[in-house]
């Protein structure tokens, strides 16, 4: 990981704030709120929206965290002893905890309804390490089962592994239960990786993920039903089923990482896949502490995983730490409007709509490869 002496300058003002650009063009942003009476006042972030196929229904998972993310202002004003970024947590709890709330989503008023905590009591009690719970869960429905897939940390050193959690509505009215848990191993040759996270589930390819975005790597996870109740004993092996070669790698200044789900749709009569990825720009500040900015971009692939279009790098609302975990299409098959959910500074959650005409203009479609560097970091 390269850490520089100063951050990258974003000079393309049209894409510095996606929300500002979108609102100027008639778009909409809505906060996603789970009442404090339900969460106990936990901060909300990194929501994931999912359209249930062949219905007009949507679900949203919202991550609730037990800490407040503090970042020093300006020239490191109010910096803590731990640097510009600090997780502020209760004095009586040394852990950074995550709880997940599954909600229904009303497309008409763009509000959450019926929030229910995901009960994980079937599996070993936590904590195991400083970070506790399933982080940045993406919703996906594969083979008629509903899953949350994200990262969990494991003892003794906090090693992160992708996890697929099968969830279902319980018999009680407001109950959502985790009924299966699969711990996913990285592909052969990557077993020693410290933290595997941000794999993007492909919605119409059961148990397949886009693991890397540049060049594209698609992996398949072997889900054996007998493993679901004993994740400690069984790990799910992963196989690389598609690997883009160096000739397909885009000359981007920052490396795109995972973000939303990978959503299939048709454009000009042909099948494509859309996802929102993120990029981290790390540097050392004047006090020689590590600092960072998060950026995102929209990437579209064709059915053979060639890049068909890519957007400029952008921020949602000019925050240092923003993160997208959700992308969903409009329920009408002929409408290529999308809905994106993202977290801001690990403390608030939002949804924006991305109209078809906006996406057509915002995404750069099939530019020559030598122009990609111009698209990114002007």
* Rounded Cα–Cα distance for residues 207 and 325 (Å): 17
How is residue 35 written in tokens?
């009442």
How does pLDDT run across 53-95, given as a tens digit for each residue?
Answer: 888 899 999 999 998 877 766 565 666 665 677 788 888 888 8
The answer, yes or no, to whether residue 130 has pLDDT greater than 90, is: no
Domain-embedded: residue 148: yes
CB burial string 266-297: b at 16+ within 10 A, e below = ebeeeebbbbbbbbebebebeeebebebbbbb
| Closest to 199 in 3D by CA, of 143, 264, 150 | 150
Angle at 62 between CA 350 and CA 362, to 5 degrees: 35
Domain-embedded: residue 6: no
pTM: 0.91
Q: What is the pLDDT of residue 8?
A: 56
Domain-embedded: residue 4: no
Q: What is the pLDDT of residue 30?
A: 95
The answer, yes or no, to whether residue 2 has pLDDT greater than 60, is: no
Q: Sheet harboring 348-354: ordered strands across?
A: 29-31, 348-354, 338-344, 322-329
Domain-embedded: residue 67: yes
Residue 288 confidence class, pLDDT cut points 50, 70, 90: low
Domain-embedded: residue 69: yes
Q: Give every CB contact of residue 255 below 8 A, 6+ residues apart in sequence.
A: 214, 279
| Closest to 66 in 3D by CA, of 358, 299, 346 | 346
- Structural domains in the chain (count): 1
Peptide bond into 215 cis (omega under 30): yes
CATH number at 224 reads: 2.115.10
> CB of 310 within 8 A of CB of 279?
no
How does pLDDT run across 15-31, given as a tens digit for each residue?
Answer: 568 999 899 888 899 99
Structural domain boundaries enclosing 335: 13-376
> CB of 352 within 8 A of CB of 27?
yes
Domain-embedded: residue 2: no
Domain-embedded: residue 8: no
Residue 123 confidence class, pLDDT cut points 50, 70, 90: confident
* Rounded Cα–Cα distance for residues 54 and 331 (Å): 8
How does pLDDT run across 186-199, given as a tens digit for each residue?
Answer: 999 888 888 999 99
How is residue 323 written in tokens?
């993160």
How is residue 295 written in tokens?
């950026």
Domain-embedded: residue 299: yes
How is residue 346 written in tokens?
């690990």
From the CB of residue 228, how many other CB atoms can be counted at a distance below 10 Å? 17
The answer, yes or no, to whether residue 280 has pLDDT greater than 90, is: no
Facing residues of 239 across strands? Answer: 220
Of 73-82, 88-97, 217-226, 313-322, which range is least confident?
A: 73-82
Distances (CA, A) of 294 to 1, 51, 226, 231: 15, 26, 39, 33
């Amino acid at each position: 990981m390269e850490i520089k002496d100063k951050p990258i300058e974003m000079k393309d003002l049209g894409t510095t704030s996606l929300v500002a650009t979108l609102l100027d063009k008639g778009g909409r942003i809505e906060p996603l709120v789970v009442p404090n009476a339900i969460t106990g006042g936990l901060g909300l972030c990194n929501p994931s929206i999912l359209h249930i196929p062949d219905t007009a229904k949507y679900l949203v998972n919202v991550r609730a965290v037990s800490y407040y993310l503090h970042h020093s202002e300006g020239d490191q004003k109010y910096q803590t002893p731990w640097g510009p970024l600090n997780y502020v947590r209760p004095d009586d709890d040394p852990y950074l905890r995550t709880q997940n709330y599954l909600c229904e989503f009303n497309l008409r008023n763009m509000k959450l309804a019926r929030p229910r905590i995901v009960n994980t009591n079937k599996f070993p009690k936590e904590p195991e390490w400083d970070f506790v719970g399933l982080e940045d869960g993406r919703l996906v429905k594969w083979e008629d089962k509903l899953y949350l897939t994200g990262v969990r940390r494991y003892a003794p050193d906090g090693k992160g592994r992708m996890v697929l959690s099968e969830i279902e509505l319980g018999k009680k009215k407001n109950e959502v239960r985790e009924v299966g848990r699969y711990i996913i191993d990285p592909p052969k040759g990557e077993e020693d990786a410290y933290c595997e996270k941000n794999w993007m589930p492909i919605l119409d390819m059961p148990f397949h993920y886009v693991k890397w975005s540049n060049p594209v790597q698609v992996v398949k996870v072997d889900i054996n039903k007998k493993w679901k109740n004993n994740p400690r004993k069984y790990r799910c092996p992963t196989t690389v089923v598609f690997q883009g070669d160096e000739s397909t790698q885009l000359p981007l200044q920052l490396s795109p990482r995972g973000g939303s789900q990978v959503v299939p749709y048709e454009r000009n009569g042909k099948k494509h896949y859309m996802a929102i990825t993120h990029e981290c720009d790390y540097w050392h500040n004047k006090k020689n502490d590590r600092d960072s900015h998060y950026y995102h971009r929209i990437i579209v692939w064709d059915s053979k995983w060639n890049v068909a279009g890519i957007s400029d790098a952008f921020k949602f609302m000019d925050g240092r730490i923003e993160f997208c975990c959700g992308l969903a299409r409009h329920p009408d098959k002929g409408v290529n409007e999308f809905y994106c959910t993202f977290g801001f500074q690990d403390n608030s959650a939002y949804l924006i709509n991305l109209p078809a005409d906006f996406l057509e203009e915002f995404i750069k479609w099939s530019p020559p490869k030598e122009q990609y560097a111009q698209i990114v970091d002007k």
